[in-house]
């Protein structure tokens, strides 16, 4: 399988991720009918987004400008390699 190169398909893929996330969140809150679940879900999503931002933006722009990450596995390899 080759890399995705079409900007339209990339936008479609991003939009589908947003749709999946929204539908899943709404269904989870509707099924539990508990405002605490909604708050915890929002905090969970926010925290994961911030950790993803840290892994790919903060490391590259503020800590180590030489290194480029291809994914979360590369980020873990980078962290394990720096400790050696």
Tens-digit pLDDT profile for residues 24-63: 999 999 999 999 999 999 999 999 999 989 888 888 888 8
Q: 8 and 47, same structural domain?
A: no
Q: 60 and 23, same structural domain?
A: no
Three-class DSSP category at 60:
helix
Query: Pseudo-torsion of CA 30, 34, 37, 39, nearest 10°?
Result: 110
**Count of domains observed in the chain:** 2
Q: 12 and 46, same structural domain?
A: no
More confident residue, 57 or 82: 57
Over 80: is that where the pLDDT of 82 sits?
no
Q: Which residue range forms the structural domain that includes residue 55?
A: 38-84
Q: How much is the pTM?
A: 0.68
């Amino acid at each position: 399988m080759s890399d995705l190169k079409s900007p339209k398909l990339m936008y479609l893929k991003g939009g589908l991720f947003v749709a999946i996330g929204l539908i899943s969140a709404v269904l989870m809150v509707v099924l539990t009918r508990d405002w605490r679940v909604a708050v915890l879900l929002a905090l969970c999503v926010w925290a994961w987004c911030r950790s993803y931002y840290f892994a790919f933006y903060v490391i590259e722009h503020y800590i180590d400008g030489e290194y480029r990450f291809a994914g979360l596995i590369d980020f873990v390899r980078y962290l394990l390699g720096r400790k050696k």
